[in-house]
Structure 1
Amino acid sequence: MFLRMVARPLMAKVKETTGIVGLEVVPNAREVLISLYGKTLKEIQAVPEDEGYRKAVESFTRHRLKVCQEEDDWEIIEKRLACGQVEELIEEAQDELKLIAKMIGTYISILSLSLSLTLLNSILIFTLFLCLFSFLEQCRVIRRIRRKI
Protein backbone atom coordinates (compact mmCIF):
# COMPACT_ATOMS: atom_id res chain seq x y z
CA MET A 1 0.00 0.00 0.00
CA PHE A 2 2.80 2.38 0.99
CA LEU A 3 4.72 1.66 -2.20
CA ARG A 4 1.66 2.26 -4.31
CA MET A 5 1.02 5.65 -2.68
CA VAL A 6 4.61 6.90 -2.58
CA ALA A 7 6.68 5.09 -5.18
CA ARG A 8 4.16 4.93 -7.99
CA PRO A 9 3.96 8.71 -8.54
CA LEU A 10 7.74 8.90 -8.42
CA MET A 11 8.14 6.11 -10.97
CA ALA A 12 5.46 7.42 -13.30
CA LYS A 13 6.67 8.14 -16.79
CA VAL A 14 6.82 11.73 -17.91
CA LYS A 15 5.20 12.30 -21.27
CA GLU A 16 7.41 14.40 -23.51
CA THR A 17 5.21 14.69 -26.60
CA THR A 18 1.82 13.63 -27.86
CA GLY A 19 3.15 12.97 -31.33
CA ILE A 20 0.29 15.07 -32.69
CA VAL A 21 1.12 18.42 -34.26
CA GLY A 22 -0.46 21.26 -32.30
CA LEU A 23 -1.47 19.08 -29.34
CA GLU A 24 0.70 19.93 -26.36
CA VAL A 25 1.36 17.62 -23.42
CA VAL A 26 -0.79 18.37 -20.36
CA PRO A 27 1.28 17.42 -17.30
CA ASN A 28 -1.75 17.34 -14.96
CA ALA A 29 -4.12 15.72 -17.49
CA ARG A 30 -5.80 13.48 -14.92
CA GLU A 31 -6.81 16.42 -12.71
CA VAL A 32 -7.94 18.42 -15.75
CA LEU A 33 -10.08 15.50 -16.97
CA ILE A 34 -11.66 15.00 -13.53
CA SER A 35 -12.54 18.70 -13.43
CA LEU A 36 -13.94 18.74 -16.98
CA TYR A 37 -15.99 15.58 -16.45
CA GLY A 38 -17.42 17.04 -13.24
CA LYS A 39 -18.44 20.21 -15.10
CA THR A 40 -19.95 18.14 -17.89
CA LEU A 41 -22.10 16.13 -15.48
CA LYS A 42 -23.23 19.35 -13.80
CA GLU A 43 -24.08 21.23 -16.99
CA ILE A 44 -25.84 18.32 -18.71
CA GLN A 45 -28.50 18.53 -15.96
CA ALA A 46 -30.02 21.47 -17.88
CA VAL A 47 -30.89 19.15 -20.78
CA PRO A 48 -34.25 17.34 -20.37
CA GLU A 49 -33.88 13.93 -18.68
CA ASP A 50 -35.65 11.99 -21.41
CA GLU A 51 -33.30 13.19 -24.18
CA GLY A 52 -31.05 10.52 -25.64
CA TYR A 53 -28.20 13.02 -25.88
CA ARG A 54 -28.24 13.60 -22.12
CA LYS A 55 -28.38 9.87 -21.37
CA ALA A 56 -25.42 9.16 -23.67
CA VAL A 57 -23.30 12.01 -22.33
CA GLU A 58 -24.00 11.09 -18.71
CA SER A 59 -23.16 7.45 -19.35
CA PHE A 60 -19.79 7.85 -21.04
CA THR A 61 -18.79 10.80 -18.84
CA ARG A 62 -19.48 8.88 -15.63
CA HIS A 63 -17.44 5.95 -16.95
CA ARG A 64 -14.50 8.16 -17.92
CA LEU A 65 -14.64 10.05 -14.63
CA LYS A 66 -14.63 6.78 -12.68
CA VAL A 67 -11.54 5.55 -14.55
CA CYS A 68 -9.73 8.87 -13.96
CA GLN A 69 -10.55 8.75 -10.25
CA GLU A 70 -9.40 5.13 -9.92
CA GLU A 71 -6.10 5.50 -11.77
CA ASP A 72 -3.19 7.85 -11.17
CA ASP A 73 -1.10 6.99 -14.22
CA TRP A 74 -1.96 8.63 -17.55
CA GLU A 75 -0.87 5.51 -19.47
CA ILE A 76 -3.30 3.29 -17.57
CA ILE A 77 -6.10 5.84 -18.08
CA GLU A 78 -5.41 5.84 -21.82
CA LYS A 79 -5.38 2.01 -21.94
CA ARG A 80 -8.55 1.57 -19.89
CA LEU A 81 -10.54 4.15 -21.82
CA ALA A 82 -9.09 3.18 -25.22
CA CYS A 83 -10.22 6.52 -26.68
CA GLY A 84 -6.87 8.09 -27.50
CA GLN A 85 -4.41 10.11 -25.49
CA VAL A 86 -5.42 12.00 -22.37
CA GLU A 87 -4.75 15.28 -24.20
CA GLU A 88 -7.24 14.23 -26.87
CA LEU A 89 -9.73 13.34 -24.15
CA ILE A 90 -9.28 16.83 -22.70
CA GLU A 91 -10.09 18.38 -26.08
CA GLU A 92 -13.14 16.11 -26.45
CA ALA A 93 -14.38 17.06 -22.98
CA GLN A 94 -13.94 20.77 -23.74
CA ASP A 95 -15.82 20.34 -27.02
CA GLU A 96 -18.59 18.44 -25.22
CA LEU A 97 -19.04 21.36 -22.82
CA LYS A 98 -19.39 23.73 -25.77
CA LEU A 99 -21.92 21.40 -27.39
CA ILE A 100 -23.94 21.16 -24.19
CA ALA A 101 -24.17 24.97 -24.09
CA LYS A 102 -25.44 24.97 -27.69
CA MET A 103 -27.94 22.20 -26.93
CA ILE A 104 -29.26 24.14 -23.94
CA GLY A 105 -29.65 27.20 -26.19
CA THR A 106 -31.54 25.06 -28.70
CA TYR A 107 -33.89 23.70 -26.02
CA ILE A 108 -34.53 27.22 -24.76
CA SER A 109 -35.30 28.40 -28.31
CA ILE A 110 -37.68 25.49 -28.87
CA LEU A 111 -39.37 26.10 -25.53
CA SER A 112 -39.81 29.82 -26.18
CA LEU A 113 -41.13 29.08 -29.69
CA SER A 114 -43.56 26.57 -28.20
CA LEU A 115 -44.71 29.12 -25.61
CA SER A 116 -45.03 31.76 -28.33
CA LEU A 117 -47.18 29.45 -30.43
CA THR A 118 -49.33 28.61 -27.42
CA LEU A 119 -49.79 32.30 -26.69
CA LEU A 120 -50.53 33.00 -30.34
CA ASN A 121 -53.14 30.21 -30.40
CA SER A 122 -54.76 31.63 -27.27
CA ILE A 123 -54.91 35.11 -28.81
CA LEU A 124 -56.35 33.70 -32.02
CA ILE A 125 -59.05 31.76 -30.17
CA PHE A 126 -59.91 34.81 -28.07
CA THR A 127 -60.13 36.97 -31.22
CA LEU A 128 -62.37 34.43 -32.93
CA PHE A 129 -64.57 34.35 -29.84
CA LEU A 130 -64.85 38.16 -29.88
CA CYS A 131 -65.71 38.13 -33.59
CA LEU A 132 -68.35 35.46 -33.06
CA PHE A 133 -69.77 37.33 -30.07
CA SER A 134 -69.86 40.55 -32.10
CA PHE A 135 -71.56 38.78 -34.99
CA LEU A 136 -74.20 37.26 -32.69
CA GLU A 137 -74.79 40.63 -31.08
CA GLN A 138 -75.31 42.19 -34.50
CA CYS A 139 -77.79 39.43 -35.37
CA ARG A 140 -79.74 40.20 -32.19
CA VAL A 141 -79.85 43.86 -33.08
CA ILE A 142 -81.07 43.07 -36.60
CA ARG A 143 -83.82 40.82 -35.19
CA ARG A 144 -85.01 43.59 -32.87
CA ILE A 145 -85.13 46.03 -35.74
CA ARG A 146 -87.13 43.57 -37.87
CA ARG A 147 -89.62 43.01 -35.06
CA LYS A 148 -90.24 46.72 -34.82
CA ILE A 149 -90.83 47.05 -38.53
Structure 2
Amino acid sequence: MFLRRFARPSSLMMMAKVKETTGIVGLEVVPNAREVLIGLYNKTLNEIQRVPEDEGYRKAVETFTRHRLKVCEEEEDWETIEKRLGCGQVEELIEEAQDELKLIDKMIEWDPWGVPDDYECEVVENDAPVPKHVPLHRPGPLPEEFYKTLEAIMNGTKKDESAAAAAAAAAPPSTSS
Protein backbone atom coordinates (compact mmCIF):
# COMPACT_ATOMS: atom_id res chain seq x y z
CA MET A 1 0.00 0.00 0.00
CA PHE A 2 2.79 2.40 0.95
CA LEU A 3 4.64 1.89 -2.36
CA ARG A 4 1.51 2.22 -4.48
CA ARG A 5 0.64 5.52 -2.94
CA PHE A 6 4.02 7.05 -3.74
CA ALA A 7 4.69 5.25 -7.00
CA ARG A 8 1.48 6.31 -8.65
CA PRO A 9 2.06 10.10 -8.92
CA SER A 10 5.49 9.66 -10.47
CA SER A 11 4.14 7.24 -13.06
CA LEU A 12 1.41 9.73 -13.89
CA MET A 13 4.02 12.42 -14.37
CA MET A 14 5.77 10.24 -16.93
CA MET A 15 2.62 10.11 -19.05
CA ALA A 16 2.03 12.77 -21.69
CA LYS A 17 -0.30 15.64 -20.92
CA VAL A 18 -3.88 14.94 -21.86
CA LYS A 19 -5.88 17.68 -23.52
CA GLU A 20 -9.28 18.02 -21.90
CA THR A 21 -10.93 20.29 -24.48
CA THR A 22 -10.13 22.20 -27.64
CA GLY A 23 -12.20 25.16 -26.48
CA ILE A 24 -13.84 25.17 -29.92
CA VAL A 25 -17.50 24.20 -30.13
CA GLY A 26 -17.94 21.04 -32.18
CA LEU A 27 -14.24 20.22 -32.30
CA GLU A 28 -13.54 17.22 -30.14
CA VAL A 29 -10.14 16.33 -28.66
CA VAL A 30 -8.23 13.71 -30.66
CA PRO A 31 -6.14 11.77 -28.12
CA ASN A 32 -3.81 10.31 -30.78
CA ALA A 33 -3.63 13.48 -32.89
CA ARG A 34 0.07 13.10 -33.69
CA GLU A 35 -0.42 9.65 -35.21
CA VAL A 36 -3.51 10.81 -37.11
CA LEU A 37 -1.60 13.78 -38.52
CA ILE A 38 1.35 11.64 -39.59
CA GLY A 39 -1.05 9.30 -41.42
CA LEU A 40 -2.92 12.15 -43.09
CA TYR A 41 0.28 13.93 -44.15
CA ASN A 42 1.72 10.74 -45.64
CA LYS A 43 -1.55 10.14 -47.50
CA THR A 44 -1.52 13.75 -48.76
CA LEU A 45 2.03 13.39 -50.07
CA ASN A 46 0.99 10.20 -51.83
CA GLU A 47 -2.21 11.68 -53.34
CA ILE A 48 -0.56 14.93 -54.52
CA GLN A 49 1.63 12.81 -56.83
CA ARG A 50 -1.42 12.63 -59.14
CA VAL A 51 -1.07 16.37 -59.85
CA PRO A 52 1.44 17.36 -62.56
CA GLU A 53 4.91 17.86 -61.12
CA ASP A 54 5.43 21.43 -62.34
CA GLU A 55 2.14 22.83 -60.99
CA GLY A 56 2.31 25.47 -58.27
CA TYR A 57 -0.51 23.85 -56.32
CA ARG A 58 1.43 20.59 -56.03
CA LYS A 59 4.64 22.37 -55.04
CA ALA A 60 2.86 24.37 -52.33
CA VAL A 61 1.04 21.34 -50.89
CA GLU A 62 4.20 19.23 -50.89
CA THR A 63 6.23 21.97 -49.20
CA PHE A 64 3.93 22.69 -46.28
CA THR A 65 2.90 19.06 -45.86
CA ARG A 66 6.51 17.85 -45.68
CA HIS A 67 7.28 20.55 -43.12
CA ARG A 68 4.30 19.63 -40.95
CA LEU A 69 5.07 15.92 -41.26
CA LYS A 70 8.68 16.50 -40.20
CA VAL A 71 7.56 18.42 -37.10
CA CYS A 72 5.07 15.68 -36.18
CA GLU A 73 7.74 13.01 -36.59
CA GLU A 74 10.28 14.94 -34.52
CA GLU A 75 7.97 15.85 -31.64
CA GLU A 76 6.02 13.54 -29.36
CA ASP A 77 3.98 16.15 -27.47
CA TRP A 78 0.90 17.77 -29.01
CA GLU A 79 1.68 21.10 -27.31
CA THR A 80 5.13 21.25 -28.89
CA ILE A 81 3.70 20.35 -32.31
CA GLU A 82 1.17 23.18 -32.01
CA LYS A 83 3.86 25.66 -30.94
CA ARG A 84 6.33 24.70 -33.67
CA LEU A 85 3.78 24.77 -36.45
CA GLY A 86 1.96 27.86 -35.21
CA CYS A 87 -1.14 26.98 -37.25
CA GLY A 88 -3.68 26.23 -34.54
CA GLN A 89 -4.49 23.18 -32.51
CA VAL A 90 -3.66 19.66 -33.66
CA GLU A 91 -7.38 18.97 -34.05
CA GLU A 92 -7.64 21.93 -36.43
CA LEU A 93 -4.62 20.65 -38.33
CA ILE A 94 -6.38 17.30 -38.70
CA GLU A 95 -9.43 19.02 -40.21
CA GLU A 96 -7.18 21.01 -42.56
CA ALA A 97 -5.37 17.86 -43.70
CA GLN A 98 -8.69 16.08 -44.34
CA ASP A 99 -9.92 19.10 -46.31
CA GLU A 100 -6.69 19.17 -48.34
CA LEU A 101 -7.20 15.54 -49.33
CA LYS A 102 -10.72 16.37 -50.54
CA LEU A 103 -9.36 19.40 -52.42
CA ILE A 104 -6.72 17.30 -54.18
CA ASP A 105 -9.51 15.08 -55.55
CA LYS A 106 -11.48 18.15 -56.67
CA MET A 107 -8.43 19.76 -58.30
CA ILE A 108 -7.78 16.57 -60.25
CA GLU A 109 -11.44 16.50 -61.30
CA TRP A 110 -11.43 20.19 -62.32
CA ASP A 111 -8.05 19.91 -64.09
CA PRO A 112 -7.19 23.64 -63.97
CA TRP A 113 -3.73 22.95 -65.42
CA GLY A 114 -5.19 21.15 -68.45
CA VAL A 115 -5.12 24.17 -70.79
CA PRO A 116 -4.41 23.07 -74.38
CA ASP A 117 -1.06 24.17 -75.82
CA ASP A 118 -2.77 25.96 -78.72
CA TYR A 119 -5.08 27.99 -76.44
CA GLU A 120 -4.71 31.70 -76.99
CA CYS A 121 -5.63 34.17 -74.33
CA GLU A 122 -6.63 37.67 -75.40
CA VAL A 123 -4.69 40.31 -73.48
CA VAL A 124 -6.24 43.74 -73.10
CA GLU A 125 -3.75 46.50 -72.30
CA ASN A 126 -4.68 49.31 -69.90
CA ASP A 127 -5.24 52.01 -72.55
CA ALA A 128 -6.68 49.77 -75.26
CA PRO A 129 -10.43 49.82 -75.85
CA VAL A 130 -12.09 46.81 -74.28
CA PRO A 131 -13.75 44.52 -76.86
CA LYS A 132 -17.52 44.18 -76.48
CA HIS A 133 -17.33 40.45 -75.70
CA VAL A 134 -15.07 41.08 -72.67
CA PRO A 135 -16.97 41.90 -69.48
CA LEU A 136 -15.92 45.20 -67.95
CA HIS A 137 -15.31 44.85 -64.23
CA ARG A 138 -14.86 48.12 -62.45
CA PRO A 139 -14.56 48.15 -58.69
CA GLY A 140 -16.84 50.44 -56.76
CA PRO A 141 -15.48 53.66 -55.29
CA LEU A 142 -13.19 53.38 -52.30
CA PRO A 143 -14.21 54.99 -49.01
CA GLU A 144 -13.21 58.62 -48.48
CA GLU A 145 -11.04 57.53 -45.54
CA PHE A 146 -8.83 55.53 -47.92
CA TYR A 147 -7.97 58.61 -49.96
CA LYS A 148 -7.28 60.67 -46.83
CA THR A 149 -4.94 58.00 -45.50
CA LEU A 150 -3.21 57.68 -48.86
CA GLU A 151 -2.74 61.44 -49.08
CA ALA A 152 -1.34 61.58 -45.54
CA ILE A 153 1.12 58.81 -46.37
CA MET A 154 2.16 60.47 -49.60
CA ASN A 155 2.60 63.86 -47.91
CA GLY A 156 4.55 62.24 -45.09
CA THR A 157 6.85 60.61 -47.64
CA LYS A 158 7.36 63.92 -49.43
CA LYS A 159 8.15 65.65 -46.12
CA ASP A 160 10.64 62.89 -45.25
CA GLU A 161 12.30 63.23 -48.65
CA SER A 162 12.47 67.04 -48.29
CA ALA A 163 13.95 66.76 -44.80
CA ALA A 164 16.54 64.24 -46.01
CA ALA A 165 17.48 66.48 -48.94
CA ALA A 166 17.78 69.52 -46.64
CA ALA A 167 19.93 67.57 -44.19
CA ALA A 168 22.18 66.37 -47.00
CA ALA A 169 22.58 69.92 -48.31
CA ALA A 170 23.42 71.27 -44.85
CA ALA A 171 26.03 68.57 -44.13
CA PRO A 172 29.66 69.56 -44.74
CA PRO A 173 31.19 67.99 -47.83
CA SER A 174 33.21 64.85 -47.13
CA THR A 175 36.91 65.00 -47.74
CA SER A 176 38.20 61.90 -49.40
CA SER A 177 41.47 61.57 -51.24
**TM-score normalised by the chain length of structure 1:** 0.67
Could you tell me which of 49, 55, 58 is aligned with 1:51?
Answer: 55
Which residue matches 1:17? 21
Unaligned runs of 5+ in 2: 1-10, 119-177
Which residue matches 2:109? 105
Distance 1:74 1:8 in 2: 17
| Structure 1 letter corresponding to 2:62 | E
State the Cα deviation string for residues 100-142 of structure 1 (Å, max 9, x = none).
Answer: 00011112x875x95xx9xxxxxxxxxxxxxxxxxxxxxxxxx
Which residue matches 1:89? 93
1:36 aligns with 2:49: no
The one of the two structures with greater contact order (alpha-carbon pairs below 8 A, sep at least 6) is 1
Aligned-residue sequence identity (percent) comes to 79
Which residue matches 2:30? 26
Could you tell me which of 66, 71, 74 is aligned with 2:75?
Answer: 71
Root-mean-square deviation (CA, aligned residues, Å) is: 2.3
Residue 11 of structure 1, CA deviation: 3.3
Q: Which has the larger Rg?
A: 1
- Asked if 1 retains the 8 angstrom alpha-carbon contact of 2:55 and 2:113, the reply is no
State the Cα deviation string for residues 54-103 of structure 1 (Å, max 9, x = none).
Answer: 00000000000000000000000000000000000000000000000001
Aligned residues: 108
- Asked if 1 retains the 8 angstrom alpha-carbon contact of 2:71 and 2:84, the reply is yes
Unaligned runs of 5+ in 1: 1-6, 118-149
Distance 2:40 2:21 in 1: 22
**Runs of 4+ with deviation above 6 angstroms:** none
When residues 110 and 41 of structure 1 are mapped into structure 2, their CA distance, relative to the original with a 3 A threshold, is closer
Residue 10 of structure 1, CA deviation: 3.1
